[in-house]
């Protein structure tokens, strides 16, 4: 029916454009015609001018869909990985290792798959895994947490962060994040009806060290501040909390009603002999914190999507109210397998700093003669490279162009910021085998 009408006036001429709508004439839907306006790979839909004039008054359009997340597109990780695939580029954008989880962990997974651990796990997580997590926290952070009421296993850190934000943030509340901020925080805050306040991390004179500006945090706190989200070890800059930062955080928030959400997914990837200073290790911070972590980075298993949230019992109870309706329970055999592996192979995560420091150093050395400016990262498996001496293009355009033209994909930092204060910096994932890193470094060195 629609094509029979042929071309003439486009719907845009009615002064109304959008992507997908249905058109009704009187009470008759136009033969299911879905019309597409301003959508690049679809032709404009059209009505002949005389036909439009005859029926114009009778045209009723559905209102454009009112999105709950109007400013959200597809995540940069999906966009860049897809582009890397399309261009057959080396993918140093999305953060995932090019190596498998340890064989002993895979063996345990296989064991549980074959021995009946295939039905729903308990909602908070299998007891053995919660116990193993509690033991690890006790050893590393000197905090004794209650296995039954203070640890909840979740579907990766992503679900943990989302559930925590839904549980804590109410309509009209304000939430503080520090830019560059991981991309999943703000959409979750928006969906909870909250407002995100972005505070940029301060940058050192050499452009590579990022820190919280305590005065600025203080200045942004008010009686609407419900939550402050911190992420150390920090993605994408590799910043870590220094010895006095936990105390500064405690003092700054002492008279505020705000809770803390701490994203610590890179807790086991901190370099140069520095410890990971978890919010769990600080008495005053622990009382108001939900700490979210993940086994994805720790066990080279980002596809398993097993994370956990540790919080005092009252906060954990609120967290579980949301978690039970977000996902209910988490992959059973993987939970059992990780529980066994954590207990029997603690040396695995203990050697991760050395394991990744070798890759970081290898990648950085290969780039020594390139035109990029860099400082070896202090944590995570991401290295920031400053391309200011090579190009003055924006980071988003350049990340895409270099994916297509030199075959190396990276992540532009500006997408993590409200203001693009981060300048000429790209993030490269070095959780790859040496041959891949050498190939990438060689291409980058030609620039
Ligand atoms: N937070 C940060 C800072 C991350 O880099 C990631 C990606 N690992 C996540 C959260 C999400 O973790 P997961 O893959 O376990 O959902
Ligand atoms: N955390 C990963 C990164 O920073 C991406 C995870 C994702 O793709 N959502 O690269």
What are the distances in angstroms from CA 169 to CA 163, 225, 322, 382, 429? 10, 9, 12, 30, 32
What is the tens place of the pLDDT at every residue in 317-374?
999 999 999 999 999 999 999 999 999 999 999 999 999 999 999 999 999 999 999 9
Ligand 2 centre distance from Cα of residue 77 (Å):
6
Instruction: Match domain 76-96+351-445 to its CATH number in 3.90.1150.10, 3.30.930.10, 3.40.50.720, 2.60.40.420.
Output: 3.90.1150.10
Pocket of ligand 1 contains residue 101 by CB under 6 Å: no
Q: What is the mean pLDDT of residues 101-122?
A: 98
pLDDT for res 27: 40
Strand pairing partners for 90?
Answer: 408
> What is the Cα–Cα distance from 49 to 56, expressed in whole angstroms?
10
- Give the pTM: 0.88
Ligand 2 centre distance from Cα of residue 95 (Å):
5
Both structure tokens of 97: 């290792």
Ligand 1 centre distance from Cα of residue 1 (Å):
49
173 has pLDDT over 70: yes
Strand pairing partners for 384?
Answer: 427
Among residues 393, 421, 411, the alpha carbon closest in space to that of 210 is found at: 421
pLDDT for res 64: 81
The answer to whether 224 and 194 are in contact (CB under 8 A) is no
Number of Cβ within 10 Å of residue 54's Cβ equals 12
pLDDT for res 62: 57
Residue with CA at minimum distance from ligand 1 atom 12 = 157
Both structure tokens of 164: 């925590």
What is the tens place of the pLDDT at every residue in 414-433?
999 998 666 899 999 999 99
Pocket of ligand 2 contains residue 75 by CB under 6 Å: yes
Protein fold of 103-349: 3.40.640
pLDDT band at 274 (very low <50, low <70, confident <90, very high): very high
pLDDT for res 55: 45
pLDDT for res 420: 61
Mean model confidence pLDDT for the chain:
89
> Residues of the chain with pLDDT > 90: what percent?
84
Pocket test for ligand 1, best of 152, 153, 158 (most atoms within 8 A of CB): 158
What is the tens place of the pLDDT at every residue in 105-115?
999 999 999 99
435 has pLDDT over 60: yes
Both structure tokens of 90: 């080396």
Pocket of ligand 1 contains residue 237 by CB under 6 Å: no
Residue 184 Cα: closest atom of ligand 2: 9
> What is the Cα–Cα distance from 194 to 264, expressed in whole angstroms?
22
Strand pairing partners for 260?
Answer: 228, 289
Residue with CA at minimum distance from ligand 2 atom 8 = 77
Determine the distance from the C-alpha atom of residue 255 to the mean position of all C-alpha atoms in its chain, rounded to a whole number.
30
Among residues 257, 268, 325, 321, the alpha carbon closest in space to that of 298 is found at: 268
What is the tens place of the pLDDT at every residue in 1-50?
333 333 333 443 443 443 444 444 444 444 444 443 333 333 444 444 45
* Three-point CA angle 354, 360, 365, nearest 5°: 125
Which ligand minimizes its atom distance to the CA of 309? 1
> What is the Cα–Cα distance from 127 to 335, expressed in whole angstroms?
9
pLDDT for res 24: 44
pLDDT for res 423: 87
pLDDT band at 243 (very low <50, low <70, confident <90, very high): confident
Q: Which residue has better confidence, 162 or 422?
A: 162
195 has pLDDT over 90: yes
What is the tens place of the pLDDT at every residue in 397-408?
999 999 999 999
Ligand 2 centre distance from Cα of residue 389 (Å):
28
Ligand 2 centre distance from Cα of residue 428 (Å):
12
Pocket of ligand 1 contains residue 302 by CB under 6 Å: yes
pLDDT for res 202: 95
Q: What is the mean pLDDT of residues 97-108?
A: 98
Q: What are the boundaries of each domain within the chain?
A: 2-61, 76-96+351-445, 103-349
pLDDT for res 419: 82
Residue with CA at minimum distance from ligand 2 atom 7 = 77
The answer to whether 297 and 265 are in contact (CB under 8 A) is yes
395 has pLDDT over 90: yes
Pocket of ligand 1 contains residue 370 by CB under 6 Å: no
Q: How big is the chain by its Cα radius of gyration, in Å?
A: 25
Residue 78 Cα: closest atom of ligand 2: 8
HEC letters along the chain: CHHHHCCCEEHHHHCCCCCEEEEEECCEEEEEEEEECCCCCCCCCEECHHHHHHHHHHEEECCCCCCCCCCCCCCHHHHHHHHHHHHCCEECCCCCCCCCCCHHHHHHHHHHHHCCCCCCCCCCCCHHHHHHHHHHHHHHHCCCCCCCCCEEEECHHHHHHHHHHHHHCCCCCEEEEEECCCCCHHHHHHHCCCEEEEEECEECCCCCCEECCHHHHHHHCCCCEEEEEECCCCCCCCCCCCCCHHHHHHHHHCCCCCEEEEECCCCCCECCCCCCCCHHHCHHHHCCEEEEEEHHHHCCCCCCCCEEEECCHHHHHHHHHHHHHHCCCCCHHHHHHHHHHHHHCHHHHHCHHHHHHHHHHHHHHHCCCCCCECCCCCECCEEEEECCCCCCCCHHHHHHHHHHHCCEECEEHHHHCCCCCCCCEEEEECCCCHHHHHHHHHHHHCC
């Amino acid at each position: 029916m629609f094509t029979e009408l042929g071309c003439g006036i486009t719907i845009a001429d009615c002064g109304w454009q959008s992507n997908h709508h249905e058109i009704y004439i009187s009470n008759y839907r136009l033969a299911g015609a879905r019309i597409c306006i301003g959508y690049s790979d679809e032709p404009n839909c059209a009505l002949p001018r005389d036909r439009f004039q005859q029926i114009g008054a009778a045209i009723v359009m559905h209102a454009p869909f009112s999105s709950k997340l109007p400013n959200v597109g597809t995540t940069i990780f999906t966009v860049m990985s897809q582009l890397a695939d399309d261009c057959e580029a080396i993918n140093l954008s999305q953060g995932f290792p090019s190596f498998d989880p340890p064989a002993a962990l895979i063996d345990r997974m296989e064991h549980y798959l074959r021995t009946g651990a295939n039905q729903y796990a308990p909602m908070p997580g299998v007891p053995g895994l919660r116990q193993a997590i509690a033991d690890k926290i006790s050893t590393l952070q000197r905090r004794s947490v209650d296995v039954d009421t203070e640890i909840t296993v979740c579907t990766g850190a992503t679900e943990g962060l989302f559930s925590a934000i839904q549980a804590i943030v109410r309509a009209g509340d304000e939430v503080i994040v520090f830019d560059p901020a991981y991309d999943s925080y703000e959409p979750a805050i928006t969906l909870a009806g909250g407002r995100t306040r972005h505070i940029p991390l301060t940058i050192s004179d050499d452009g590579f060290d990022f820190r919280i500006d305590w005065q600025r945090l203080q200045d942004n706190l008010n009686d609407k501040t419900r939550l402050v989200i911190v992420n150390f070890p920090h993605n994408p800059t590799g910043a870590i909390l220094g010895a006095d930062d936990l105390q500064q955080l405690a003092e700054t928030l002492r008279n505020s009603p705000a809770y803390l959400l701490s994203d610590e997914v890179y807790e086991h990837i901190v370099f140069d002999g520095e410890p990971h200073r978890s919010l769990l290790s600080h008495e005053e911070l622990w009382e108001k914190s939900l700490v979210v972590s993940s086994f994805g980075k720790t066990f080279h298993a980002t596809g398993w999507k097993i994370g956990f949230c540790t919080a005092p019992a009252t906060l954990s109870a609120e967290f579980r109210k949301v978690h039970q309706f977000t996902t209910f329970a988490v992959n059973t055999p993987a939970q059992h397998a990780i529980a066994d592996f954590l207990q029997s192979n603690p040396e695995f995560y203990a050697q991760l700093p050395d394991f990744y420091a070798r890759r970081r150093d290898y990648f950085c050395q290969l780039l020594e003669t390139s035109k990029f400016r860099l400082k070896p990262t202090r944590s995570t498996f991401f290295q920031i490279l400053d391309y200011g001496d090579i190009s003055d293009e924006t980071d988003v355009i350049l990340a895409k162009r270099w994916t297509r033209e030199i075959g190396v994909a990276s992540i532009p930092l500006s997408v993590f910021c409200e203001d693009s204060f981060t300048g000429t910096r790209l993030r490269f994932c070095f959780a790859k085998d040496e041959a891949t890193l050498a190939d990438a470094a060689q291409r980058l060195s030609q620039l």
